[in-house]
Structure 1
């Protein structure tokens, strides 16, 4: 079932909130809105020129850093792996050579992939 049209007052409230946010929070708001659209099973457009979205693959409770890199590479298949290689390698090295906890490194990997996706997305829509 389609949502009722956005009223002028609602639109103004949404825009006022948007303008008060920093760039990173705006990206988070967009990601959340897209999540809600996907969860509702609603297509934001007819698919023409649609921006690929990450595949949602749940994080296993006992995931390894290598497993996380594989999962995130599959989730974010649209990203250029070469662009991620340096940062992902540095995080992997911090885990293996410096003993950083896997859970901490995995969280940083998830943030890394999400950040690269937001840059990718911004380039596709001409904001970057």
Structure 2
């Protein structure tokens, strides 16, 4: 799955097509100070893509999980007015998944302490 770049730390909503289904995915970010919090954005994008695969593959049994840098809290909520929506890919009609998948993403506590420490050191050097 190749996705457009993520907008962290800004929230975003995406529609994903997998198989014959369309999923509405909301991504919310927690303890990110800025987009500079993550040194390697390409690695983070891969971690987010993998997290999305895990969530879509386990919709019946969602639990919080962690990647190398991130902690993901997935949950579902009812997708209002989903019955009024129609999706089509080529000549094939797609079925919308009846729930919105929300990912709440935070830096792992170890990563957070590294970046907060870096931020404090940088700030102290300026004075």
- TM-score, normalised to structure 2, is 0.28
More strand by share: 2
1 or 2 for the larger relative contact order (CA 8 Å, sep ≥6)? 2
More helix by share: 1
